Amino acid sequence: MSKQTYKVCFCCSRRFKLGVSEAPAEIKALYEKYSENGFMGAAQLQRFLIEVQKQDKSTEEEAQAIIDGLKHLTIFHHRGFNLEGFFKYLFSDSNPPLIPSNRVHHDMTAPLSHYFIYTGHNSYLTGNQLSSDCSDVPIIEALKRGVRVIELDIWPNAKKDNVDVLHGRTLTTPVELIRCLRSIKEFAFTASEYPVVITLEDHLTPDLQAKVAEMVTKTFGDVLYSPGSEGLKEFPSPESLKRRIIISTKPPKEYLEAKETKEKGDDSQKGKSSGDEEAWGKEVPSMKDGSIADYKNNVDEDVNDEEDPEEAYKNHQDVAPEYRSLIAIHAGKPKGGLDECLKVDPDKVRRLSLSEEQLEKAAITHGQQIVRFTQRNMLRVYPKGTRIDSSNYNPLIGWMHGAQMVAFNMQGYGRSLWLMHGMFKANGGCGYVKKPSFLLQTGPHNEVFDPRVKLPVKKTLKITVYMGEGWYNDFRPTHFDQFSPPDFYTRVGIAGVPADTIMKKTKAIEDSWLPTWNEEFEFPLAVPELALLRIEVHEYDMSEKDDFGGQTCLPVSEIREGIRAVPLCSSKGDKYNHVKLLMRFEFL
């Protein structure tokens, strides 16, 4: 057993045993139960997979393939697993917590409005919303991660003879539209074959709209989905739109000259955070009592509001018809209040955009109307204007009302974005997740799901956090503590409807790179279909802020029961090479 030395001062040092990863007592007991004569062969492993891992369709041939797949390690025996081999298997990448990735298993033949869609906001920005560079690089990264909705703000360039992408009336440096379009074409279907929607915020003159139409048509060719200018009576399905590009914007409007950039002053400080929040992002705002209890700055967000499409046409009768014909998903906000905005037209479908604050207020008074609207139409939710640091909001308020496009700043790393990553690990990571049936159904008296009604517990998720490993391989010895090994603890909990939302934590294990907690937690779930399991590991620090040790977020609907190896990710959502937890999941 090797040792690790930490210097305490010039003349003193402390030595700690590194230890080896050893199977917890429950794993040893299970091995004894399912092994014969000191080995677990294919028949015994199959029984374990069926009875403990709840993999009812496992065959003896599949169990043998698992054993054969790990025989390259010298600890394995031709007769099957010994205890060490069994433990290594449980803690390996061959034993993931979710339904195997790249396996689309939802029905993909329903209209687009029946799906949550992985949606970006200001997808071209490399950093903050005020002064960062605009580039195609974050667009490429988003597409590689599986994002299916890319937002581009299009403006005339400095000479007014071409089109740039930039965040208008800010200090952001532009990128040419054609560069963004070419990158979308190249990387659109790297992570998923399902359609990519480009939402355009249009600030162009008619001649430049015609130029955009030419660019889009030449760049995408037959890949572009163009149903014509009449609008759709019902959205097509993701299955029917595989490997297609869809344009969504409001009908063209009169070009408004850019106003002088407003004095930002104090606004530039609103997005700053400190301590834990700087490292991991703010704790996801609560939705208790029917509203989000954070970010209460009221700002005028009319800049991003959709305007009345009819008014837009009156303002610009000479709009380029070739540009108008590109729009497959029409966006617009009818005149009048929420009642008018949320009216469902049986003869056509459209997209409505609301800011996070507008949705929060609307949810209190018009919750069921929003649900009814989203059964046929698209609702896009976007971050409020004061999030100049590219932070995000709680996506659950949108999802529980059926909003398909909960638009996020993909460069705004933190807890809210981890939830977004978690949601779209579902359905093979294809970027489309079928909405729960209760959000799509209408009752015998024309009633729909009421997000504000407290529901009874449907099922309980029981979790055992056994242990963790891998930090010593992925981090410097003094990364967490200058004078000793780390003191890790795990936070586990649920993000979901308000009644389900909770966080708990284990005790901290002192001075160990191989923490063993062996702690159980139970989470009663009223709406498991929308629940996300949050897992975070931190290193306790008595004198300063706790250090970040990894995180992941898993859709509860896709968690596999049994003992599983749970890989952890960095704060940016990138999987660590070695860091993982050994956990058990049971549904009661």
pLDDT in tens, 440-488: 999 898 899 999 999 999 999 999 999 999 999 999 988 998 878 999 9
Question: Is the predicted pLDDT of residue 269 greater than 70, yes or no?
Answer: no
User: Considering only 107-116, 342-351, 518-527, 536-545, which range has the smallest mean pLDDT?
Assistant: 536-545
Residue 478's Cβ-side half-sphere holds a number of Cα atoms within 13 Å equal to 7
Query: Each residue of 376-430: pLDDT tens digit?
Result: 999 999 999 999 999 999 999 999 999 999 999 999 989 999 999 999 999 999 9
Q: Report the C-alpha gap between 523 and 3 in whole angstroms.
A: 39
Mean pLDDT of 528-546: 93
Residue 31 pLDDT grade (very low, low, confident, very high; cuts 50, 70, 90): very high
Active site residue 167: yes
Q: What is the DSSP string of 454-499?
A: PPPP-EEEEEEEEEEE-HHHHS-TTSS-SSS---EEEEEEEESSTT
Chain segment 82-138, per-residue pLDDT in tens: 898 899 999 999 999 998 766 899 999 999 999 999 999 999 999 999 999 999 999
Question: What pLDDT was estimated at residue 261?
Answer: 34
- Dmax (CA) of the chain: 85
Q: Which listed residue (77, 106, 121, 316) is catalytic?
A: 121
Among 387, 538, 360, residue whose Cα is nearest residue 452: 360
pLDDT (average), residues 159-188? 96
Phi, psi for residue 107 in degrees, rounded to 5: -70, 120
pLDDT at 315 over 70: no
Nearest to 514, CA basis, from 182, 159, 24? 24
Token reading at 500: 């389900």
Enter the DSSP assignment of 158.
T
Distances (CA, A) of 341 to 303, 344, 345: 18, 9, 11
Is the confidence at residue 262, as pLDDT, over 70?
no
Q: Which of 72, 78, 106, 167 is labelled catalytic?
A: 167
Q: Residue 102 phi/psi, 5° resolution?
A: 65, 20
- Could you tell me which residue, 561 or 299, shows the higher pLDDT? 561
Residue 172 has pLDDT above 70, yes or no: yes
CA distance 111 to 5: 61
Phi-psi region of 31 (alpha: psi -120 to 50; beta: other; left: phi over 0): alpha
